[in-house]
Structure 1
Amino acid sequence: MLIYILKRVGYAIPVSLSVSVVCFLLVQMAPGDPLTLVLPTDASQELIDATKARYGLDQPVFVQYFYWLANVLRGDFGVSIATGRPVLPEIAGALGYTLRLALLASVIGMVAGLFLGMIAGYRIGSPVDKIASIIAISGVSIPHYWLAIVLVVIFSVNLGWFPAMGAGTPGDSLRTLILHMILPAVTLAALPAGIICRSVRALVAETLGREFVTALIGRGLSQGRVFLHVLKNAAPTALAVIGVQMGYLMAGSILVETVFSWPGTGLLLNGAILQRDIPLLQGTILVLAMFFVLLNLVVDLLQPLFDPRIRRS
Protein backbone atom coordinates (compact mmCIF):
# COMPACT_ATOMS: atom_id res chain seq x y z
CA MET A 1 0.00 0.00 0.00
CA LEU A 2 2.86 2.37 0.85
CA ILE A 3 4.51 1.65 -2.51
CA TYR A 4 1.21 2.40 -4.27
CA ILE A 5 0.93 5.76 -2.48
CA LEU A 6 4.53 6.70 -3.28
CA LYS A 7 4.00 5.79 -6.94
CA ARG A 8 0.89 7.94 -7.22
CA VAL A 9 2.57 10.90 -5.54
CA GLY A 10 5.58 10.39 -7.81
CA TYR A 11 3.33 10.43 -10.89
CA ALA A 12 1.72 13.67 -9.73
CA ILE A 13 5.04 15.56 -9.68
CA PRO A 14 5.83 15.40 -13.44
CA VAL A 15 2.16 15.98 -14.20
CA SER A 16 2.25 19.16 -12.11
CA LEU A 17 5.40 20.37 -13.89
CA SER A 18 3.80 19.67 -17.27
CA VAL A 19 0.71 21.58 -16.23
CA SER A 20 2.84 24.57 -15.21
CA VAL A 21 4.55 24.56 -18.63
CA VAL A 22 1.22 24.41 -20.46
CA CYS A 23 -0.29 27.18 -18.30
CA PHE A 24 2.70 29.44 -18.92
CA LEU A 25 2.98 28.83 -22.67
CA LEU A 26 -0.74 29.11 -23.43
CA VAL A 27 -0.90 32.55 -21.83
CA GLN A 28 2.30 33.63 -23.57
CA MET A 29 0.95 32.60 -26.98
CA ALA A 30 -2.28 34.58 -26.55
CA PRO A 31 -2.53 37.59 -28.91
CA GLY A 32 -2.25 41.17 -27.69
CA ASP A 33 0.20 43.21 -25.64
CA PRO A 34 -0.47 43.29 -21.87
CA LEU A 35 1.57 46.47 -21.47
CA THR A 36 -1.13 48.50 -23.23
CA LEU A 37 -2.97 48.49 -19.89
CA VAL A 38 -0.22 50.38 -18.07
CA LEU A 39 1.46 52.40 -20.81
CA PRO A 40 0.12 55.57 -22.43
CA THR A 41 -0.46 55.49 -26.15
CA ASP A 42 2.43 57.89 -26.74
CA ALA A 43 4.90 56.05 -24.49
CA SER A 44 8.56 56.44 -25.41
CA GLN A 45 10.73 53.44 -26.25
CA GLU A 46 12.69 53.99 -23.03
CA LEU A 47 9.51 53.74 -20.96
CA ILE A 48 8.40 50.63 -22.85
CA ASP A 49 11.77 48.95 -22.27
CA ALA A 50 11.76 49.88 -18.58
CA THR A 51 8.23 48.51 -18.11
CA LYS A 52 9.12 45.25 -19.88
CA ALA A 53 12.15 44.88 -17.63
CA ARG A 54 9.99 45.52 -14.56
CA TYR A 55 7.67 42.64 -15.41
CA GLY A 56 10.45 40.43 -16.82
CA LEU A 57 9.01 40.52 -20.34
CA ASP A 58 12.35 41.48 -21.87
CA GLN A 59 13.75 37.97 -21.28
CA PRO A 60 13.40 34.92 -23.58
CA VAL A 61 10.32 32.82 -22.94
CA PHE A 62 12.17 29.88 -21.37
CA VAL A 63 14.01 32.24 -19.01
CA GLN A 64 10.70 33.88 -18.07
CA TYR A 65 9.25 30.43 -17.32
CA PHE A 66 12.05 29.37 -14.98
CA TYR A 67 11.98 32.70 -13.14
CA TRP A 68 8.20 32.45 -12.86
CA LEU A 69 8.30 28.83 -11.66
CA ALA A 70 11.00 29.61 -9.07
CA ASN A 71 8.94 32.50 -7.74
CA VAL A 72 5.76 30.39 -7.67
CA LEU A 73 7.51 27.69 -5.63
CA ARG A 74 8.36 30.44 -3.11
CA GLY A 75 4.75 31.59 -3.05
CA ASP A 76 5.31 34.67 -5.21
CA PHE A 77 2.88 34.73 -8.15
CA GLY A 78 3.97 38.20 -9.27
CA VAL A 79 2.13 41.50 -9.47
CA SER A 80 -1.05 42.16 -11.42
CA ILE A 81 -0.44 44.34 -14.47
CA ALA A 82 -3.96 45.80 -14.32
CA THR A 83 -4.16 46.65 -10.60
CA GLY A 84 -0.54 46.67 -9.43
CA ARG A 85 -1.45 44.43 -6.47
CA PRO A 86 0.17 41.07 -5.62
CA VAL A 87 -1.51 38.22 -7.48
CA LEU A 88 -1.57 35.63 -4.69
CA PRO A 89 -3.86 37.56 -2.27
CA GLU A 90 -6.31 38.25 -5.11
CA ILE A 91 -6.41 34.55 -6.04
CA ALA A 92 -6.70 33.50 -2.40
CA GLY A 93 -9.67 35.82 -1.82
CA ALA A 94 -11.49 34.59 -4.93
CA LEU A 95 -10.56 30.96 -4.29
CA GLY A 96 -12.50 30.89 -1.02
CA TYR A 97 -15.70 31.83 -2.83
CA THR A 98 -15.11 29.26 -5.58
CA LEU A 99 -14.38 26.49 -3.08
CA ARG A 100 -17.60 27.18 -1.21
CA LEU A 101 -19.61 27.14 -4.40
CA ALA A 102 -17.83 24.07 -5.81
CA LEU A 103 -18.29 22.16 -2.54
CA LEU A 104 -22.04 22.78 -2.47
CA ALA A 105 -22.34 22.00 -6.19
CA SER A 106 -20.33 18.79 -5.68
CA VAL A 107 -22.64 17.63 -2.90
CA ILE A 108 -25.74 18.40 -4.97
CA GLY A 109 -24.33 16.79 -8.10
CA MET A 110 -23.00 13.72 -6.31
CA VAL A 111 -26.16 13.04 -4.31
CA ALA A 112 -28.47 13.63 -7.28
CA GLY A 113 -26.27 11.65 -9.68
CA LEU A 114 -25.84 8.67 -7.34
CA PHE A 115 -29.53 8.60 -6.42
CA LEU A 116 -30.79 8.78 -10.00
CA GLY A 117 -28.08 6.42 -11.27
CA MET A 118 -28.82 3.76 -8.64
CA ILE A 119 -32.56 3.88 -9.26
CA ALA A 120 -32.11 3.80 -13.04
CA GLY A 121 -29.58 0.95 -12.83
CA TYR A 122 -31.94 -1.19 -10.74
CA ARG A 123 -34.92 -0.45 -13.00
CA ILE A 124 -33.47 -0.66 -16.52
CA GLY A 125 -36.16 0.06 -19.12
CA SER A 126 -38.76 1.20 -16.59
CA PRO A 127 -40.44 4.65 -16.59
CA VAL A 128 -38.19 5.62 -13.67
CA ASP A 129 -35.13 4.76 -15.76
CA LYS A 130 -36.42 6.85 -18.67
CA ILE A 131 -37.14 9.86 -16.45
CA ALA A 132 -33.70 9.62 -14.83
CA SER A 133 -32.07 9.34 -18.26
CA ILE A 134 -33.93 12.41 -19.54
CA ILE A 135 -32.82 14.42 -16.50
CA ALA A 136 -29.21 13.21 -16.90
CA ILE A 137 -29.05 13.94 -20.63
CA SER A 138 -30.59 17.37 -20.07
CA GLY A 139 -27.99 18.17 -17.42
CA VAL A 140 -25.17 17.19 -19.77
CA SER A 141 -26.58 18.90 -22.86
CA ILE A 142 -27.88 22.24 -21.61
CA PRO A 143 -25.21 24.99 -21.66
CA HIS A 144 -24.31 26.33 -18.22
CA TYR A 145 -24.78 29.98 -19.10
CA TRP A 146 -28.23 29.35 -20.63
CA LEU A 147 -29.39 27.35 -17.59
CA ALA A 148 -28.06 30.10 -15.32
CA ILE A 149 -30.06 32.77 -17.17
CA VAL A 150 -33.23 30.64 -17.11
CA LEU A 151 -32.91 30.00 -13.37
CA VAL A 152 -32.39 33.72 -12.71
CA VAL A 153 -35.47 34.63 -14.77
CA ILE A 154 -37.68 32.03 -13.09
CA PHE A 155 -36.54 31.98 -9.47
CA SER A 156 -35.14 35.50 -9.05
CA VAL A 157 -37.10 37.77 -11.37
CA ASN A 158 -40.50 36.04 -11.49
CA LEU A 159 -40.70 34.26 -8.12
CA GLY A 160 -38.21 36.32 -6.11
CA TRP A 161 -37.07 33.28 -4.12
CA PHE A 162 -33.31 33.72 -4.55
CA PRO A 163 -30.94 36.66 -5.14
CA ALA A 164 -30.01 37.12 -8.79
CA MET A 165 -26.33 37.93 -8.29
CA GLY A 166 -23.54 38.49 -5.82
CA ALA A 167 -22.42 36.49 -2.80
CA GLY A 168 -23.83 38.68 -0.04
CA THR A 169 -21.80 40.60 2.53
CA PRO A 170 -19.91 39.32 5.60
CA GLY A 171 -22.58 40.82 7.85
CA ASP A 172 -25.43 38.84 6.27
CA SER A 173 -27.05 35.93 8.05
CA LEU A 174 -26.15 32.34 7.18
CA ARG A 175 -29.54 31.89 5.50
CA THR A 176 -28.92 34.88 3.23
CA LEU A 177 -25.45 33.65 2.29
CA ILE A 178 -26.83 30.20 1.45
CA LEU A 179 -29.62 31.70 -0.65
CA HIS A 180 -26.99 33.49 -2.75
CA MET A 181 -25.29 30.15 -3.38
CA ILE A 182 -28.31 28.04 -4.37
CA LEU A 183 -28.82 29.08 -8.00
CA PRO A 184 -25.14 29.07 -9.08
CA ALA A 185 -24.56 25.78 -7.22
CA VAL A 186 -27.54 24.09 -8.90
CA THR A 187 -26.37 25.40 -12.27
CA LEU A 188 -22.87 23.99 -11.74
CA ALA A 189 -24.23 20.68 -10.39
CA ALA A 190 -26.31 19.93 -13.51
CA LEU A 191 -23.41 18.63 -15.62
CA PRO A 192 -21.67 16.41 -13.03
CA ALA A 193 -25.04 15.08 -11.84
CA GLY A 194 -25.86 13.99 -15.38
CA ILE A 195 -22.48 12.36 -15.98
CA ILE A 196 -22.45 10.61 -12.59
CA CYS A 197 -26.01 9.39 -13.15
CA ARG A 198 -25.19 7.85 -16.53
CA SER A 199 -21.95 6.31 -15.26
CA VAL A 200 -23.50 4.85 -12.10
CA ARG A 201 -26.49 3.55 -14.07
CA ALA A 202 -24.19 1.61 -16.40
CA LEU A 203 -22.06 0.34 -13.51
CA VAL A 204 -25.04 -0.87 -11.48
CA ALA A 205 -26.66 -2.53 -14.48
CA GLU A 206 -23.38 -4.30 -15.32
CA THR A 207 -22.80 -5.38 -11.72
CA LEU A 208 -26.33 -6.75 -11.37
CA GLY A 209 -25.67 -9.02 -14.34
CA ARG A 210 -22.63 -10.67 -12.79
CA GLU A 211 -22.68 -14.18 -11.41
CA PHE A 212 -21.83 -13.26 -7.84
CA VAL A 213 -25.03 -11.19 -7.56
CA THR A 214 -27.09 -14.16 -8.75
CA ALA A 215 -25.28 -16.30 -6.18
CA LEU A 216 -26.00 -13.79 -3.40
CA ILE A 217 -29.69 -13.72 -4.29
CA GLY A 218 -29.69 -17.54 -4.45
CA ARG A 219 -28.25 -17.68 -0.94
CA GLY A 220 -31.25 -15.73 0.28
CA LEU A 221 -29.61 -12.40 1.04
CA SER A 222 -31.96 -9.48 1.44
CA GLN A 223 -32.21 -6.75 -1.17
CA GLY A 224 -30.44 -4.38 1.21
CA ARG A 225 -27.43 -6.71 1.57
CA VAL A 226 -27.28 -7.27 -2.18
CA PHE A 227 -27.45 -3.51 -2.73
CA LEU A 228 -24.44 -2.99 -0.44
CA HIS A 229 -22.41 -5.53 -2.43
CA VAL A 230 -23.39 -3.89 -5.72
CA LEU A 231 -22.52 -0.46 -4.32
CA LYS A 232 -19.12 -1.66 -3.11
CA ASN A 233 -18.24 -3.09 -6.52
CA ALA A 234 -19.35 0.04 -8.35
CA ALA A 235 -17.69 2.45 -5.89
CA PRO A 236 -14.11 2.59 -7.33
CA THR A 237 -15.20 3.59 -10.83
CA ALA A 238 -17.91 5.89 -9.50
CA LEU A 239 -15.38 7.55 -7.20
CA ALA A 240 -13.05 8.22 -10.14
CA VAL A 241 -15.89 9.83 -12.11
CA ILE A 242 -16.92 11.94 -9.11
CA GLY A 243 -13.35 13.14 -8.56
CA VAL A 244 -12.96 14.24 -12.17
CA GLN A 245 -16.27 16.07 -12.12
CA MET A 246 -15.35 17.90 -8.90
CA GLY A 247 -12.19 19.07 -10.66
CA TYR A 248 -14.25 20.35 -13.56
CA LEU A 249 -16.42 22.30 -11.13
CA MET A 250 -13.35 24.26 -10.01
CA ALA A 251 -12.17 25.00 -13.54
CA GLY A 252 -15.47 25.26 -15.36
CA SER A 253 -17.23 27.94 -13.36
CA ILE A 254 -16.12 30.97 -15.42
CA LEU A 255 -19.38 31.60 -17.26
CA VAL A 256 -21.57 30.67 -14.29
CA GLU A 257 -19.72 33.00 -11.92
CA THR A 258 -19.90 35.75 -14.54
CA VAL A 259 -23.67 35.39 -14.97
CA PHE A 260 -24.27 35.44 -11.22
CA SER A 261 -21.48 37.99 -10.50
CA TRP A 262 -20.07 35.49 -8.03
CA PRO A 263 -16.66 36.86 -6.86
CA GLY A 264 -14.74 33.63 -7.35
CA THR A 265 -11.82 32.52 -9.50
CA GLY A 266 -14.07 32.23 -12.54
CA LEU A 267 -14.99 35.91 -12.44
CA LEU A 268 -11.38 36.79 -11.63
CA LEU A 269 -10.15 34.72 -14.57
CA ASN A 270 -12.70 36.29 -16.90
CA GLY A 271 -11.48 39.78 -15.98
CA ALA A 272 -7.84 38.71 -16.41
CA ILE A 273 -8.59 37.34 -19.88
CA LEU A 274 -10.34 40.52 -21.01
CA GLN A 275 -7.50 42.70 -19.68
CA ARG A 276 -4.77 40.22 -20.69
CA ASP A 277 -3.32 40.48 -17.22
CA ILE A 278 -0.63 37.82 -17.69
CA PRO A 279 0.54 37.35 -14.05
CA LEU A 280 -3.02 37.12 -12.76
CA LEU A 281 -4.05 34.87 -15.65
CA GLN A 282 -1.13 32.50 -15.21
CA GLY A 283 -1.53 32.33 -11.45
CA THR A 284 -5.26 31.65 -11.55
CA ILE A 285 -4.99 28.97 -14.23
CA LEU A 286 -2.14 27.29 -12.38
CA VAL A 287 -4.03 27.20 -9.06
CA LEU A 288 -7.15 25.74 -10.71
CA ALA A 289 -5.08 23.17 -12.62
CA MET A 290 -3.27 22.14 -9.44
CA PHE A 291 -6.60 21.59 -7.71
CA PHE A 292 -7.55 19.29 -10.56
CA VAL A 293 -4.29 17.33 -10.19
CA LEU A 294 -4.71 17.20 -6.40
CA LEU A 295 -8.28 15.90 -6.65
CA ASN A 296 -7.21 13.14 -9.02
CA LEU A 297 -4.40 12.21 -6.64
CA VAL A 298 -6.83 12.04 -3.71
CA VAL A 299 -9.17 9.84 -5.76
CA ASP A 300 -6.27 7.53 -6.67
CA LEU A 301 -5.34 7.24 -3.00
CA LEU A 302 -8.93 6.54 -1.93
CA GLN A 303 -9.67 3.86 -4.51
CA PRO A 304 -7.70 1.08 -2.73
CA LEU A 305 -10.00 1.50 0.25
CA PHE A 306 -12.89 0.27 -1.92
CA ASP A 307 -11.09 -2.15 -4.23
CA PRO A 308 -8.77 -4.73 -2.60
CA ARG A 309 -7.39 -5.66 -6.04
CA ILE A 310 -5.61 -2.29 -6.22
CA ARG A 311 -4.02 -2.85 -2.80
CA ARG A 312 -2.77 -6.29 -3.84
CA SER A 313 -1.32 -4.93 -7.08
Structure 2
Amino acid sequence: MRGLSLLPSHLLRIALCAALVPVASCGWTGTDEGNGGSPPGAPTGVSAAAGTATSVHVMWNTTARAKVYEVYRGTTKVMEVPGSRHMVDVTRLRPSTLYVFTVRARDAEGRLGPRSRAVRAKTPAAVAADHSAPTRPSAPRGRAAGSRAVQLSWSASTDDRGVASYDIHQGETKIHSVGGSQTAAVVTGLRPGTAYSFTVRARDAAGNVSPAAPAVRLTTPGTDDGRATAPTGFRATSHRADGAYYVDLSWVPPRVDGEVTEYQIQLDGRPATSLVYGGDAPRDLATYSFYVGRDAGIGHRVRVRAMLPDGTWGGFSAERTVTTGPGR
Protein backbone atom coordinates (compact mmCIF):
# COMPACT_ATOMS: atom_id res chain seq x y z
CA MET A 1 0.00 0.00 0.00
CA ARG A 2 1.22 3.46 -0.81
CA GLY A 3 0.37 7.12 -0.24
CA LEU A 4 -2.21 8.61 2.06
CA SER A 5 -4.22 5.40 2.37
CA LEU A 6 -1.59 3.99 4.74
CA LEU A 7 -2.99 5.90 7.70
CA PRO A 8 -6.54 6.59 8.87
CA SER A 9 -7.46 10.25 9.18
CA HIS A 10 -6.81 10.56 12.93
CA LEU A 11 -3.33 9.05 12.59
CA LEU A 12 -2.64 11.16 9.52
CA ARG A 13 -3.19 14.26 11.60
CA ILE A 14 -0.72 13.01 14.20
CA ALA A 15 1.80 12.32 11.45
CA LEU A 16 1.33 15.82 10.05
CA CYS A 17 1.98 17.41 13.41
CA ALA A 18 5.12 15.31 13.76
CA ALA A 19 6.49 16.62 10.44
CA LEU A 20 9.68 18.63 10.53
CA VAL A 21 8.10 21.75 9.00
CA PRO A 22 5.59 23.17 11.49
CA VAL A 23 2.41 24.64 10.00
CA ALA A 24 0.33 27.09 12.05
CA SER A 25 1.64 25.30 15.17
CA CYS A 26 -0.37 22.22 14.10
CA GLY A 27 -3.44 24.33 14.81
CA TRP A 28 -4.88 23.79 11.33
CA THR A 29 -8.29 22.23 10.85
CA GLY A 30 -8.80 20.07 7.82
CA THR A 31 -11.71 18.39 6.08
CA ASP A 32 -11.00 14.77 6.99
CA GLU A 33 -13.82 12.24 6.80
CA GLY A 34 -15.44 11.77 10.17
CA ASN A 35 -15.20 15.32 11.49
CA GLY A 36 -17.39 16.89 8.75
CA GLY A 37 -14.87 19.65 8.07
CA SER A 38 -14.13 22.72 10.13
CA PRO A 39 -16.44 25.65 10.97
CA PRO A 40 -15.89 28.95 9.17
CA GLY A 41 -13.13 31.24 10.35
CA ALA A 42 -13.66 34.61 12.00
CA PRO A 43 -14.69 37.29 9.47
CA THR A 44 -11.88 39.73 8.74
CA GLY A 45 -11.85 43.36 7.64
CA VAL A 46 -14.82 44.29 9.84
CA SER A 47 -15.69 48.00 9.91
CA ALA A 48 -18.57 50.09 11.21
CA ALA A 49 -19.62 53.63 10.30
CA ALA A 50 -22.66 55.60 11.46
CA GLY A 51 -25.09 56.15 8.58
CA THR A 52 -27.64 58.28 10.43
CA ALA A 53 -28.43 59.20 14.04
CA THR A 54 -30.18 55.84 14.37
CA SER A 55 -28.25 53.47 12.09
CA VAL A 56 -24.75 52.03 11.60
CA HIS A 57 -23.38 50.38 8.46
CA VAL A 58 -21.35 47.25 9.28
CA MET A 59 -19.10 45.58 6.67
CA TRP A 60 -16.72 42.61 6.55
CA ASN A 61 -14.79 40.42 4.12
CA THR A 62 -16.49 37.32 2.73
CA THR A 63 -15.59 34.20 4.72
CA ALA A 64 -15.09 30.76 3.17
CA ARG A 65 -17.90 28.24 3.84
CA ALA A 66 -20.22 30.88 5.32
CA LYS A 67 -23.90 30.14 4.73
CA VAL A 68 -25.13 32.88 7.09
CA TYR A 69 -23.53 35.81 8.92
CA GLU A 70 -24.71 36.77 12.40
CA VAL A 71 -24.24 40.41 13.42
CA TYR A 72 -24.01 41.25 17.12
CA ARG A 73 -24.45 44.55 18.94
CA GLY A 74 -22.52 43.93 22.11
CA THR A 75 -23.60 40.42 23.15
CA THR A 76 -27.00 40.64 21.42
CA LYS A 77 -27.52 39.15 17.98
CA VAL A 78 -29.38 41.81 16.02
CA MET A 79 -29.35 40.52 12.44
CA GLU A 80 -28.70 37.55 10.18
CA VAL A 81 -27.81 37.93 6.50
CA PRO A 82 -27.12 35.30 3.83
CA GLY A 83 -23.55 34.30 3.06
CA SER A 84 -23.71 36.07 -0.30
CA ARG A 85 -23.76 39.43 1.52
CA HIS A 86 -21.04 41.03 3.61
CA MET A 87 -22.61 44.27 4.79
CA VAL A 88 -25.72 45.39 6.62
CA ASP A 89 -27.35 48.51 8.07
CA VAL A 90 -28.16 48.04 11.75
CA THR A 91 -31.12 50.31 12.50
CA ARG A 92 -33.28 51.41 15.45
CA LEU A 93 -30.28 52.68 17.37
CA ARG A 94 -30.08 55.64 19.74
CA PRO A 95 -28.53 58.97 18.71
CA SER A 96 -25.26 60.07 20.30
CA THR A 97 -24.49 56.52 21.44
CA LEU A 98 -21.36 54.39 21.13
CA TYR A 99 -21.99 50.84 19.90
CA VAL A 100 -19.76 47.76 19.59
CA PHE A 101 -20.30 45.25 16.79
CA THR A 102 -18.95 41.79 15.97
CA VAL A 103 -19.75 39.30 13.21
CA ARG A 104 -19.80 35.47 13.17
CA ALA A 105 -20.10 33.11 10.21
CA ARG A 106 -22.31 30.01 10.27
CA ASP A 107 -21.92 27.17 7.77
CA ALA A 108 -24.53 24.97 6.07
CA GLU A 109 -24.30 22.44 8.94
CA GLY A 110 -25.13 25.13 11.50
CA ARG A 111 -21.61 25.38 12.98
CA LEU A 112 -20.66 28.84 14.21
CA GLY A 113 -17.16 30.17 13.73
CA PRO A 114 -15.42 32.51 16.18
CA ARG A 115 -16.37 36.15 16.55
CA SER A 116 -14.61 38.78 14.52
CA ARG A 117 -12.65 41.51 16.20
CA ALA A 118 -14.91 44.12 17.81
CA VAL A 119 -15.44 47.44 16.02
CA ARG A 120 -17.00 50.63 17.41
CA ALA A 121 -19.16 53.34 15.93
CA LYS A 122 -20.90 56.32 17.52
CA THR A 123 -24.17 57.61 16.12
CA PRO A 124 -24.41 61.40 15.68
CA ALA A 125 -26.86 63.56 17.59
CA ALA A 126 -30.46 63.63 16.42
CA VAL A 127 -31.55 66.64 14.39
CA ALA A 128 -35.16 67.76 14.76
CA ALA A 129 -37.29 68.62 11.73
CA ASP A 130 -34.50 68.26 9.16
CA HIS A 131 -35.95 67.70 5.69
CA SER A 132 -33.10 69.17 3.66
CA ALA A 133 -30.89 66.67 1.83
CA PRO A 134 -27.14 67.21 1.33
CA THR A 135 -25.88 68.47 -2.00
CA ARG A 136 -24.79 66.01 -4.66
CA PRO A 137 -21.13 64.82 -4.28
CA SER A 138 -19.10 66.34 -7.11
CA ALA A 139 -16.04 65.48 -9.21
CA PRO A 140 -16.20 61.70 -8.72
CA ARG A 141 -13.07 59.87 -9.82
CA GLY A 142 -11.86 56.30 -9.79
CA ARG A 143 -9.04 53.99 -10.72
CA ALA A 144 -8.42 50.27 -10.64
CA ALA A 145 -6.36 49.07 -7.66
CA GLY A 146 -5.24 45.75 -9.05
CA SER A 147 -7.60 43.35 -10.80
CA ARG A 148 -10.07 42.93 -7.92
CA ALA A 149 -10.51 46.39 -6.38
CA VAL A 150 -11.09 50.03 -7.29
CA GLN A 151 -10.25 53.28 -5.51
CA LEU A 152 -13.04 55.90 -5.61
CA SER A 153 -12.88 59.54 -4.54
CA TRP A 154 -15.14 62.60 -4.75
CA SER A 155 -15.49 66.17 -3.53
CA ALA A 156 -17.42 66.69 -0.31
CA SER A 157 -21.12 67.48 -0.18
CA THR A 158 -22.55 70.22 1.99
CA ASP A 159 -25.54 70.08 4.35
CA ASP A 160 -27.12 72.58 6.70
CA ARG A 161 -26.68 70.14 9.61
CA GLY A 162 -23.63 68.19 8.41
CA VAL A 163 -23.02 65.10 6.26
CA ALA A 164 -23.15 61.87 8.30
CA SER A 165 -22.04 59.37 5.66
CA TYR A 166 -21.52 58.61 1.99
CA ASP A 167 -23.14 55.58 0.35
CA ILE A 168 -21.44 53.87 -2.59
CA HIS A 169 -23.69 52.06 -5.07
CA GLN A 170 -22.74 49.51 -7.72
CA GLY A 171 -25.50 49.88 -10.24
CA GLU A 172 -28.66 50.08 -8.14
CA THR A 173 -27.21 48.22 -5.13
CA LYS A 174 -25.64 49.86 -2.10
CA ILE A 175 -22.34 48.09 -1.51
CA HIS A 176 -20.37 50.31 0.87
CA SER A 177 -20.60 53.27 3.23
CA VAL A 178 -18.01 55.59 4.78
CA GLY A 179 -18.17 58.35 7.37
CA GLY A 180 -19.14 61.88 6.45
CA SER A 181 -15.58 63.15 6.94
CA GLN A 182 -14.23 60.77 4.26
CA THR A 183 -14.18 61.47 0.54
CA ALA A 184 -12.61 58.22 -0.69
CA ALA A 185 -13.29 54.50 -0.49
CA VAL A 186 -11.80 51.22 -1.71
CA VAL A 187 -14.27 48.70 -3.14
CA THR A 188 -12.98 45.12 -3.06
CA GLY A 189 -14.22 41.68 -4.10
CA LEU A 190 -14.40 42.54 -7.81
CA ARG A 191 -13.56 40.37 -10.82
CA PRO A 192 -10.69 40.89 -13.28
CA GLY A 193 -11.58 42.10 -16.77
CA THR A 194 -15.05 43.28 -15.71
CA ALA A 195 -16.84 46.60 -16.34
CA TYR A 196 -18.38 48.33 -13.31
CA SER A 197 -20.41 51.48 -12.70
CA PHE A 198 -20.30 53.23 -9.30
CA THR A 199 -22.20 56.21 -7.89
CA VAL A 200 -21.94 58.07 -4.57
CA ARG A 201 -24.70 59.68 -2.49
CA ALA A 202 -24.41 61.79 0.67
CA ARG A 203 -26.60 61.17 3.71
CA ASP A 204 -27.26 63.39 6.74
CA ALA A 205 -28.03 62.38 10.33
CA ALA A 206 -31.78 62.56 9.68
CA GLY A 207 -31.50 60.07 6.82
CA ASN A 208 -31.97 62.57 3.99
CA VAL A 209 -30.09 61.38 0.89
CA SER A 210 -28.59 63.51 -1.86
CA PRO A 211 -28.93 62.89 -5.59
CA ALA A 212 -26.31 60.53 -6.97
CA ALA A 213 -23.03 61.90 -8.26
CA PRO A 214 -22.25 61.19 -11.92
CA ALA A 215 -21.38 57.55 -12.45
CA VAL A 216 -17.75 56.41 -12.42
CA ARG A 217 -17.27 53.66 -15.00
CA LEU A 218 -14.22 51.43 -14.67
CA THR A 219 -13.00 48.13 -16.07
CA THR A 220 -10.71 46.05 -13.89
CA PRO A 221 -7.57 44.85 -15.68
CA GLY A 222 -6.58 41.27 -16.41
CA THR A 223 -8.52 38.14 -17.16
CA ASP A 224 -10.20 35.75 -14.79
CA ASP A 225 -8.06 32.79 -15.84
CA GLY A 226 -6.75 32.26 -12.31
CA ARG A 227 -3.19 33.40 -12.90
CA ALA A 228 -3.61 36.61 -10.90
CA THR A 229 -4.83 34.65 -7.85
CA ALA A 230 -2.49 31.65 -7.96
CA PRO A 231 0.21 31.13 -5.30
CA THR A 232 3.67 31.83 -6.72
CA GLY A 233 7.19 30.59 -6.01
CA PHE A 234 5.80 27.11 -5.34
CA ARG A 235 8.41 24.53 -4.29
CA ALA A 236 8.13 20.86 -3.29
CA THR A 237 10.76 18.61 -1.73
CA SER A 238 10.72 15.36 0.24
CA HIS A 239 12.25 14.24 3.52
CA ARG A 240 12.23 11.02 5.57
CA ALA A 241 11.48 10.79 9.28
CA ASP A 242 10.74 7.80 11.52
CA GLY A 243 10.72 5.46 8.53
CA ALA A 244 8.14 7.48 6.57
CA TYR A 245 8.30 10.04 3.76
CA TYR A 246 6.86 13.53 3.82
CA VAL A 247 6.40 16.17 1.12
CA ASP A 248 7.47 19.67 2.16
CA LEU A 249 5.81 22.58 0.37
CA SER A 250 6.40 26.32 0.34
CA TRP A 251 4.79 29.14 -1.64
CA VAL A 252 4.12 32.87 -1.70
CA PRO A 253 0.44 33.63 -0.98
CA PRO A 254 -1.46 35.40 -3.78
CA ARG A 255 -1.61 39.19 -3.58
CA VAL A 256 -5.30 39.85 -3.15
CA ASP A 257 -7.40 42.26 -1.12
CA GLY A 258 -8.09 40.67 2.24
CA GLU A 259 -6.54 37.77 4.12
CA VAL A 260 -6.12 34.28 2.66
CA THR A 261 -6.75 31.75 5.44
CA GLU A 262 -7.46 28.52 3.54
CA TYR A 263 -5.59 26.45 0.94
CA GLN A 264 -6.32 23.22 -0.87
CA ILE A 265 -3.42 20.81 -1.50
CA GLN A 266 -3.83 18.65 -4.60
CA LEU A 267 -1.79 15.44 -4.86
CA ASP A 268 -1.58 13.41 -8.08
CA GLY A 269 -4.55 15.24 -9.58
CA ARG A 270 -6.85 14.82 -6.57
CA PRO A 271 -7.55 16.97 -3.48
CA ALA A 272 -5.41 15.62 -0.63
CA THR A 273 -6.32 17.95 2.24
CA SER A 274 -7.32 21.49 3.15
CA LEU A 275 -5.16 23.75 5.28
CA VAL A 276 -7.07 26.32 7.35
CA TYR A 277 -5.21 28.85 9.49
CA GLY A 278 -6.97 29.54 12.77
CA GLY A 279 -4.80 32.53 13.70
CA ASP A 280 -2.81 34.98 11.62
CA ALA A 281 -2.33 33.55 8.14
CA PRO A 282 1.12 33.95 6.51
CA ARG A 283 1.41 36.84 4.05
CA ASP A 284 4.96 36.48 2.72
CA LEU A 285 5.71 32.75 2.78
CA ALA A 286 3.55 29.73 3.60
CA THR A 287 4.91 26.26 4.38
CA TYR A 288 3.30 22.88 4.79
CA SER A 289 4.46 19.27 5.24
CA PHE A 290 2.42 16.07 4.91
CA TYR A 291 2.81 12.30 4.99
CA VAL A 292 2.86 10.37 1.68
CA GLY A 293 3.88 6.85 2.66
CA ARG A 294 6.84 4.57 3.50
CA ASP A 295 8.05 3.55 0.02
CA ALA A 296 11.10 5.14 -1.62
CA GLY A 297 11.25 6.10 -5.28
CA ILE A 298 7.58 7.08 -5.55
CA GLY A 299 6.86 10.15 -7.68
CA HIS A 300 4.06 12.55 -6.82
CA ARG A 301 2.56 15.58 -8.57
CA VAL A 302 1.49 18.37 -6.26
CA ARG A 303 0.03 21.87 -6.50
CA VAL A 304 -1.88 24.30 -4.28
CA ARG A 305 -4.63 26.90 -4.58
CA ALA A 306 -6.09 29.50 -2.21
CA MET A 307 -9.60 30.23 -1.06
CA LEU A 308 -9.96 33.95 -1.86
CA PRO A 309 -11.51 36.46 0.55
CA ASP A 310 -14.64 36.57 -1.66
CA GLY A 311 -15.26 32.86 -0.96
CA THR A 312 -14.16 31.50 -4.36
CA TRP A 313 -11.13 29.39 -5.25
CA GLY A 314 -8.18 31.12 -6.89
CA GLY A 315 -6.00 29.63 -9.59
CA PHE A 316 -3.68 26.68 -9.02
CA SER A 317 0.04 27.18 -8.54
CA ALA A 318 2.47 25.61 -10.98
CA GLU A 319 2.52 21.84 -10.58
CA ARG A 320 5.70 20.29 -9.16
CA THR A 321 6.90 16.70 -9.21
CA VAL A 322 8.65 15.27 -6.17
CA THR A 323 10.04 11.75 -5.62
CA THR A 324 10.49 10.12 -2.25
CA GLY A 325 14.19 9.46 -1.57
CA PRO A 326 16.06 6.15 -1.44
CA GLY A 327 15.40 3.87 1.49
CA ARG A 328 17.74 3.84 4.47
Report TM bin, short chain. Answer: under 0.3
TM-score under structure 1 normalisation? Answer: 0.23
Of structures 1 and 2, the one scoring higher in RCO (CA 8 A, sep 6+) is 1
Which protein is richer in helix relative to its size? 1
TM-score under structure 2 normalisation? Answer: 0.23
Which protein is richer in strand relative to its size? 2
